[in-house]
């Protein structure tokens, strides 16, 4: 081979950046080395940009999620504040003030009840004392009646004795009359005296007979009076016992009302403090809610440069992907396989996060845009130049987009509380994932050959 022809072949090898024996042409060797080094650096830059745009997308997703969460919490705090304190301004304060006034009024009424119970207690005390005095007087009367009954018995005995004496006097007068008749004329004067004595004796008998009936009636009346006094004493004792019970209950009621009055007074003071604290808390909650809303909006504005950087990096990666079709910037098959393998790993991580959400029943940051996930950035940045994998590669777009929609459906189900439905959607995503993984593995297999 002539020198000119050999040089031409080496120049063609350099133009295709293929390895050859450049020892005979130092200048071409230098160019080849520089181009090879540039290609390696291009590959490194492409890899760094891919990783950077992935991290920026992840950062943007997290910041957007946290921003939405802060704004959502702010709205929840606002809603809770309105529910707790009333939708209209001042409603809560008016309600609390009305409650405080009601408690104060109840405290005043309780004090009135206490005063009335105290007055009633004084009346009951007077009645109790009067009842005890009445019982004492009744018992004294009972004792007097017993003594009277004894006197009547004694009088009855005296009257009975007088009756006996009268009968004996009558017999003596009768005997005297008989002896006077026997004496004749000499006994006439004695006969008159005897007759008078007999008449006096008869009158005495009549009087004692009436007195016995009177004493008997007095005795019966005294007996009934004693029985009535006993019944009165028993009734008064029962009434006194009941009055004591009522007095004791009233005393307990008075003490209870006193305690209630103290408690209501304390409650009124506490209610006033609560009213003041609630007003302060309402203001603090509204200020906190407004602060969180402001922070959320500031964070949203702060993420705008991140979104712009993400777009710039994504465009850069796509431009570098287009440049990779040139021989000078061509990616080696092994490098392409590493990106595909990384896509498989990222896919499994995404699916694992979806599973965590389903079983924890809590939403977490999850990339729903298929063009911004780890595989999406790489997929839309370049198209492989291996004919055998192009059909599989082109079919991945629709499958990949559908796969990410499972994430949106799961989040919607969790937010709506349909946890069983969310689990069912995850099962479908898991099944559908096998088809994607199978396609990526086929690509790896072809690249490996």
What gap in Å lies between CA 277 and CA 284, rounded to an integer? 10
Of residues 81 and 415, more confidently modeled: 415
Does the pLDDT of residue 45 top 70, yes or no? yes
For helices 26-85 and 188-323, the axis angle rounded to 10 degrees is 160
Determine the Cα–Cα distance for residues 318 and 182; give it in Å rounded to an integer.
Answer: 184
Q: Is the dihedral of CA 407, 410, 411, 412 positive or negative?
A: positive
Share of the chain above pLDDT 90, in %: 14
Cβ proximity of 235 and 165 under 8 Å? no
**pLDDT tens for each residue of 92-126:** 456 556 666 776 676 666 767 667 777 766 776 77
For residue 367, the 8-state DSSP code is -
Question: Which residues, other chains included, contact 195 with Cβ-Cβ below 8 Å and sequence gap of 6+?
Answer: 173, 177
**Which pLDDT belongs to residue 88?**
43
- Provide the sign of the torsion angle of the four alpha carbons 164, 166, 172, 178, taken in this order: negative
Reported as a single tens digit per residue, the pLDDT across 215-225 is 667 667 666 66
The confidence score (pLDDT) of residue 119 equals: 73
Cβ contact 63:307 at 8 Å: no
- Give the pLDDT band (50/70/90) at residue 145: low
Give the pLDDT confidence score for residue 163 in this predicted structure.
66
Tell me the two tokens of residue 422: 């969310």
C-beta neighbour count of 174 within 10 angstroms:
15
Class of domain 110-283: mainly alpha
Instruction: Measure the CA–CA gap between 9 and 13, rounded to whole angstroms.
Output: 6
| pLDDT value at residue 409 | 94
At 403-434, the pLDDT tens digits run 999 999 999 999 999 999 999 999 999 999 99
**Nearest Cα to 345, choosing from 357, 333, 353?**
353
Q: Is the pLDDT of residue 90 over 60?
A: no
Residue 258: Cβ within 10 Å count: 15
CA 58 to chain centre: 40
Query: Could you tell me where the beta strands, DSSP code E, fall in 58-212?
Result: none
Quick one: angle between helices 374-381 and 188-323, nearest 10? 20
For residues 339 and 377, is the Cβ–Cβ distance under 8 A? no
CA–CA separation, 303 and 240 (whole Å): 89
CA angle (187, 189, 195) in 5-degree steps: 95
Task: Report which of residues 166 and 11 the model is more confident about.
Answer: 11
Q: List the structure tokens of 76.
A: 């929840």
The C-alpha R_g of the chain, in whole angstroms, comes to: 63
* Whether pLDDT at 345 is above 60: yes
Counting Cα atoms < 13 Å in the Cβ hemisphere of 324 gives 25
What is the rounded CA–CA span in Å between residue 315 and residue 309? 10
Q: Using the 8-state DSSP alphabet, how is residue 331 labeled?
A: P
Residue 372: per-residue pLDDT: 85
- Enter the tokens of residue 71: 């704004």
What's the rounded Cα separation, in Å, for the pair 395 and 372?
A: 18
Nearest residue to 352 via CA among 29, 37, 360? 360
CB pairs under 8 A, 24+ apart, for 142-146? 142/226, 142/229, 142/230, 142/233, 145/222, 145/225, 145/226, 145/229, 146/226
**Model confidence at 54, in pLDDT bands (50, 70, 90)?**
confident
pLDDT of residue 89: 44
What tokens appear for 222 in the block? 């005294």
> What mean pLDDT comes out for the span 371-375?
84
Looking from the CA of 233 toward its CB, the CA atoms found within 13 Å total 14
Long-range CB contact pairs, 30-35, < 8 A, 24+ = 35/328
Half-sphere exposure of residue 15: CA atoms within 13 angstroms, side-chain side = 6
With a cut of 70, say whether residue 338 has pLDDT above it: yes
Tell me what pLDDT residue 195 has: 72
Cβ atoms 7, 25 nearer than 8 A:
yes
Q: Alpha-carbon torsion 225, 231, 235, 240, what sign?
A: positive
d(CA 296, CA 278): 26
pLDDT for position 388: 87
Q: What is the C-alpha separation between 335 and 444, in angstroms, rounded? A: 11
pLDDT of res. 87: 47
Q: Which residue has the higher pLDDT, 190 or 154?
A: 154
Average pLDDT value for the chain: 76
- Rounded to an integer, the average pLDDT of 31-47 is 80
Report pLDDT for 410: 94
What would the pLDDT profile of 156-184 be if each residue is shown by its tens digit? 677 677 767 767 776 766 676 676 677 66
């Amino acid at each position: 081979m002539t020198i000119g022809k050999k040089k031409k072949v080496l120049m063609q090898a350099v133009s295709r950046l293929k390895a050859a024996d450049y020892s005979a042409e130092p200048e071409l060797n230098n160019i080849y080395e520089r181009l090879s080094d540039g290609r390696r650096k291009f590959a490194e830059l492409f890899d760094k940009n891919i990783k950077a745009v992935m991290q920026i997308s992840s950062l943007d997703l997290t910041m957007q999620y946290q921003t939405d969460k802060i704004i959502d919490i702010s709205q929840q705090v606002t809603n809770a504040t309105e529910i707790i304190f009333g939708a209209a301004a001042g409603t809560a304060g008016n309600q609390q003030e009305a409650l405080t006034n009601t408690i104060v009024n109840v405290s005043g009424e309780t004090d009135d009840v206490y005063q009335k119970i105290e007055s009633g207690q004084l009346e009951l005390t007077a009645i109790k004392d009067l009842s005890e005095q009445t019982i004492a007087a009744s018992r004294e009367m009972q004792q007097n009646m017993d003594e009277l009954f004894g006197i009547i018995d004694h009088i009855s005995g005296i009257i009975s004795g007088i009756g006996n004496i009268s009968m004996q006097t009558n017999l003596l007068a009768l005997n005297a009359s008989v002896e006077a008749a026997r004496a004749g004329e000499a006994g006439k004067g004695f006969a008159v005296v005897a007759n008078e004595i007999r008449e006096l004796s008869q009158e005495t008998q009549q009087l004692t007979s009436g007195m016995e009936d009177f004493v008997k009636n007095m005795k019966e009346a005294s007996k009934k009076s004693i029985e009535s006094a006993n019944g009165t004493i028993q009734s008064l004792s029962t009434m006194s016992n009941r009055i004591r019970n009522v007095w004791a209950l009233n005393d307990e009621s008075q003490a209870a009302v006193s305690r209630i009055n103290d408690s209501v007074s304390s409650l009124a003071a506490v209610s006033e403090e609560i009213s003041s604290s609630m007003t302060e808390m309402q203001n603090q909650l509204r200020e906190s809610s407004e602060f969180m809303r402001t922070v959320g909006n500031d964070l949203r504005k702060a993420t705008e440069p991140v979104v712009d950087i993400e777009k710039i990096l994504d465009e850069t990666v796509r431009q570098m992907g287009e440049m990779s079709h040139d021989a000078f910037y061509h990616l080696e098959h092994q490098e392409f396989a590493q990106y595909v393998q990384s896509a498989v790993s990222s896919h499994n991580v995404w699916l694992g996060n979806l599973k965590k959400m389903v079983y924890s029943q809590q939403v977490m940051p999850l990339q729903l845009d298929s063009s911004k996930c780890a595989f999406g950035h790489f997929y839309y940045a370049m198209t492989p130049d291996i004919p055998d994998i192009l059909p599989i590669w082109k079919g991945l777009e629709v499958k990949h987009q559908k796969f990410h929609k499972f994430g949106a459906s799961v989040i919607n189900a969790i937010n709506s509380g349909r946890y069983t439905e969310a689990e069912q959607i995850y099962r479908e995503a898991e099944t559908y994932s096998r088809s994607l993984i199978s396609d990526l593995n086929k690509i790896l297999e072809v690249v490996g050959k």
